[in-house]
Each structure stands twice: as structure tokens, then as C-alpha cells.
Amino acid sequence: MSEETTSGPDLPPDRLAISPRSPHFDEEKLMRGVGIRFKGVVRTNVEEYCISEGWVRVQAGKTMDRKGQPLTIKLNGPVEAWYEDLGEDAPVAKA
């Protein structure tokens, strides 16, 4: 991941969610595989992220709300995202 930019055709969106109920859900972009680095650590358990605001949402254990959806925690910090289908030298979107 050598290139670091903030916009472009091969960069993930600023905000993306894996829940189909969210207005930020985009199945086509999720099918490509989005890698997330939060505070310098690659995370695989991210439910939603926002690069410009600098946060990610992760599931809070196995706890569910009354509608059967997982409870999430919002964590603040630097967020970087890239498409995994572009390989090792994929451009990285960061704030």
C-alpha cells in the first residue's frame, strides 16, 4: 500500500456499512473487499467506518438489541481504507 490519497476511482467511499439496513450500504463495493486499518492495526470486525470523521463501529461482544441486531461501539481514531482486490500496492484512502 504505497500510495496514500483522499479521492480517486479506485478508493473506497468515505463512509461504508455492512448492514443492508444502513443508508451507507453498498453491496458492489463490499464485494470487492475493503481493508480497514484503525490506529495502525488492520481490523476485520468493522461494521461501519467513516474516514473523514475518524471513527469505526465494531460489534460489542455477542450482545443483541431488542430487534436482534448486534450492539455496536463507536471507536475514534485515524482510519485508512483500501480495496483488497487491488493487491499489495493498492491506493489507501485516509483523512
**Taking the domains of the chain in order of start, what are their residue ranges?**
4-94
Please count the other Cβ atoms lying within 10 Å of the Cβ belonging to residue 45.
9
Instruction: Dump pLDDT digits (tens) for 26-70.
Output: 999 999 999 999 999 999 999 999 999 999 999 999 999 999 989
Helix (H, G, I), strand (E, B) or coil at 3: coil
**How many whole angstroms separate alpha carbon 61 and alpha carbon 10?**
33
The model's pTM is 0.85
Instruction: Dump pLDDT digits (tens) for 6-32.
Output: 556 789 999 999 999 999 999 999 999
